[in-house]
């Protein structure tokens, strides 16, 4: 059976260097723009790579924590910029050792179930790391941050989480891959954030009890010499290996207008979420 990854043309948008000093909010706007362009068949299916400097992306539930202001101040004191995304999911860490990959597909011709979307990304990751493909499992890792049924792990240690965004018949499947650095240190940061933001208060929503030892990076699990840059090169080679054409292409002028619309919307929503409670 032909894999969804075998497209005749892939657009490839590499922001693994250019996005570093920008806000992750810009990446959400970029993926929203690509969702519309790909969903409406204005652009071919797209793979985007992106890396941001030290940030913690909070979900809506995180923003409802009773002492979230103190929690965000703790993140800032540790050198991390907190931002709030207007979607589900919980806190995740982004830094220069974390590679994010988005696969953007259209549902115009064939509908893509939620599980289909996740499975495409699992296939891609196994293709990127053939030396451990047999060991990569997808199931919820209890004790990790932002736990979900498609957490990716090797021997019980989580190195990646997958999410999806659906808009205008486009589907963006997004993964964060912890490649360099310490997975458990990132988890400890999020554990401290929840402790500071909860202060043992009872809440309706059950926040994860973080156990740092259940998280690791791929350089810890697979190869100590693995870098973000090396994985970006692997990805480019893998897309070529799939047999279709690969077109490296950033936004052009007409697309930038649409991007401006989504960027304004994302920043306005984030500002609203971050308004301090009186």
* Catalytic positions, written as ranges: 146
Q: Which residues lie closer than 8 Å to 230 by C-beta, 6 or more apart?
A: none
DSSP 111: -
Helices (H) and strands (E) in the chain, counts: 8, 11
DSSP 276: P
Locus of tokens 């697309």: 255
Locus of tokens 């052009």: 252
Q: Which of 85, 69, 241, 53 is nearest to 172 (CA)?
A: 85
**Cβ atoms within 10 A of the Cβ of 53, count?**
16
DSSP 6: -
CA distance 218 to 87: 27
Say if CB 52 and CB 92 are below 8 A apart. Answer: no
């Amino acid at each position: 059976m032909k894999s969804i990854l075998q497209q005749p043309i892939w657009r490839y948008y590499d922001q693994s260097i250019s996005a570093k000093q920008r806000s992750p909010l810009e990446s959400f706007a970029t993926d929203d723009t690509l969702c519309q362009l790909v969903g409406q068949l204005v652009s071919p299916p797209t793979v985007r790579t992106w890396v941001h400097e030290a940030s913690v992306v909070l979900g809506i539930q995180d923003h409802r924590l009773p002492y979230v202001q103190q929690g965000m101040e703790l993140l800032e004191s540790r050198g991390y910029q907190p931002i709030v995304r207007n979607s589900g999911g919980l806190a995740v860490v982004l830094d220069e050792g974390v590679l994010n990959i988005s696969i953007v597909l259209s549902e115009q011709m064939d509908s893509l179930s939620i599980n289909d979307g996740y499975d495409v990304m699992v296939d891609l990751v196994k293709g990127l790391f053939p030396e451990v493909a047999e060991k990569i499992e997808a199931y919820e890792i209890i004790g990790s941050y932002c736990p979900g049924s498609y957490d990716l792990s090797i021997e019980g240690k989580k190195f990646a989480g997958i999410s999806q965004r659906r808009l205008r018949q486009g589907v963006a499947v997004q993964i964060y891959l912890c490649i360099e650095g310490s997975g458990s240190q990132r988890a400890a940061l999020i554990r401290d954030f929840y402790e500071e933001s909860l202060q043992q208060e009872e809440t309706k929503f059950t926040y994860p009890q973080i156990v740092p030892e259940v998280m690791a990076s791929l350089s810890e699990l697979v190869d100590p010499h693995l870098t973000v840059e090396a994985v970006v090169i692997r990805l480019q080679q893998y897309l070529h290996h799939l047999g279709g054409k690969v077109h490296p292409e950033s936004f052009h002028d007409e697309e930038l207008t649409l991007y401006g619309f989504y960027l304004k919307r994302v920043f306005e929503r984030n500002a609203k979420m971050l308004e301090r409670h009186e």
